[in-house]
């Protein structure tokens, strides 16, 4: 896995990370050689292979070596505008299915609760009317 960090130089020789990109990569490595390495031993960098024969096939009960590298790239992106790339909507696509799905999830339970509420209120009003009729009948006797 390769992490590409975009940095902005601040005053006093400080850098701030204003973006990053993760490039997943599957590399076939010698598992015995990798298991003999310690925590901070260097691993030879490898470009992500495009050929399938150089990719690592994952097998059941097989060992997988996880490595990563970080590359820092100078960027002109300012700290306040670091989220602009994530918030930018490409092509102005409106996802109607997602909107309709969200509305259904919202209105279906709300409708069920509304029906339960109406039935409860009607039952209570009917009881109050019966009590009122009984009390009026007792007063007339």
- Tens digit of each residue's pLDDT (9 = 90 or more) over 125-135: 999 888 888 78
Question: Residue 43 above 90 pLDDT?
Answer: no
Same domain, 74 and 114: no
**How many folded domains does the chain comprise?**
2
- Tell me: do 43 and 75 sit in the same domain: yes
| CA separation, residue 133 to residues 57, 59, 125 (Å) | 81, 79, 12
To the nearest whole number, what is the mean pLDDT of the chain? 79
| Among the listed residues 92, 43, 50, the one whose alpha carbon sits nearest the alpha carbon of residue 69 | 43
CA dihedral 126, 127, 131, 134 (to 10 degrees): 60
Q: Which of 71, 87, 103 is the last residue of a domain?
A: 87
Tokens of 26: 């599957």
Among 44-48, 88-92, 96-100, the range of highest mean pLDDT = 96-100
Regarding whether 106 and 58 lie in a shared domain, the answer is no
Domain of residue 56: give its range. Answer: 2-87
Give CA–CA dist 64/53, Å, rounded.
16
Which tops the pLDDT comparison, 96 or 82? Answer: 96
Give pTM, 2 decimals. 0.40
């Amino acid at each position: 896995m390769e992490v590409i960090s975009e940095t902005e130089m601040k005053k006093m020789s400080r850098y701030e990370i204003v973006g990053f990109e993760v490039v997943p990569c599957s590399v076939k490595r010698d598992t015995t050689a990798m298991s003999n390495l310690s925590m901070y031993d260097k691993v030879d960098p490898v470009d992500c292979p495009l050929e399938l024969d150089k990719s690592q096939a994952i097998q059941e009960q097989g060992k997988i070596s996880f490595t990563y590298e970080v590359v820092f790239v100078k960027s002109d992106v300012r700290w306040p505008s670091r989220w602009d790339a994530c918030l930018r909507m490409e092509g102005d696509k409106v996802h109607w299915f997602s909107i309709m799905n969200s509305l259904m999830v919202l209105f279906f339970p709300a409708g069920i609760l509304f029906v339960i509420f109406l039935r409860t209120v009607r039952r209570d009003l009917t009881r109050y009317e019966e009590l009122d009729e009984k009390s009026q009948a007792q007063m007339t006797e």
